[in-house]
Amino acid sequence: MHATECLLTYQAPWSWSQFHAHYALRALPGVEQLDAHGYTRSAELDGRCGWWRITPLEDVAALRLEVSPSLAPCLPQLALRVRRMFDLDAEPLRIAAHFRDDPYLADAFARRPGLRLPSAFDPFEQAIRAIVGQQVSVKAAVTLATRLVQRLGRRLPEATPGSPQWLFPDAPSLASADLSGIGMPGRRVQTLQHFAAEVAAGRLQLTLDAGSQALAERLRSLPGIGPWTADYIALRAFGEADAFPAADLGLLKAPLWNGASLTPRELARRAEAWRPWRGYAAVQLWYGA
């Protein structure tokens, strides 16, 4: 059987190079694959497992989405999640116009109006990766997340050579696993497993149905999850346009500040003018505004 295909359109400009650079730093071996022409990953939806791939098109403002036969029945739901992941529903010129007179970011948005907000295909996976990434580099976080996949991931049924081989571990597996020797401090392991247990038991719903602020407050009520982790999950797990992790070191030390040392409170106050697009401001600052 052949893969099922469809086109996912967007409003230009949109930058494949931005997303390529983002995933080049973060792709999980065995789960995600990245090459010059596209991105592929494993997925599980509605009890079905398989893979999907996006390829940016050169002559059309669209991505080609290919879905394995096993996931074809889930194509509408999967397409919506891929659209969110690659921020295809953003209105870049409208967002850039919001920053036209901003004293800090007007230049950045004028030069790079197509920068989008990369987010995750699976919110639970991204939340786990945010917890794993507390106080370590992106490279170290990928190494730790890869160990979780190698220890607890499920083999993708009918995996073929050259395609993704593993599914990211689910909440019940992570909650009950022996994670000794995984390379994380004991307290962070406890945070990760408590979070996974809350999700597995249904006590924590990873949705924005009640708004991103409600989710962030619920996350902060869990042991070991502070403001940075909660805000980062809202931003990267859901592509929440106004999420802003003001305690992020990369934002506090962005080149735009010319070596000035901002506090999270000062940055949060400065970011008030950027609502309701603070997430896009964060992307510009990380990119090197």
* Residue positions annotated with a catalytic role: 248
For residue range 146-177, list pLDDT tens digits in order.
Answer: 999 999 999 998 777 888 999 999 999 999 99
For residue range 72-121, list pLDDT tens digits in order.
Answer: 999 999 999 999 999 999 999 999 999 999 999 999 999 999 999 999 99
Determine the residue type at 184. M
CA distance 64 to 155: 26
Strands (E) across 18-161 are located at 32-35, 38-45, 48-56, 62-67, 154-155
Angle at 213 between CA 207 and CA 215, to 5 degrees: 35
**What is the pLDDT tens value at each position of the chain, 289 positions in all?**
578 999 999 999 999 999 999 999 999 999 999 999 999 999 999 999 999 999 999 999 999 999 999 999 999 999 999 999 999 999 999 999 999 999 999 999 999 999 999 999 999 999 999 999 998 999 999 999 999 999 999 999 877 788 899 999 999 999 999 999 999 999 999 999 999 999 999 999 999 999 888 999 999 999 999 999 999 999 999 999 999 999 999 999 999 999 998 999 999 999 999 999 999 999 999 998 5
Angle at 82 between CA 244 and CA 28, to 5 degrees: 80
Structural domains in the chain, CATH included, are 4-90 (3.30.310.20), 91-118+244-289 (1.10.1670), 123-241 (1.10.340.30)
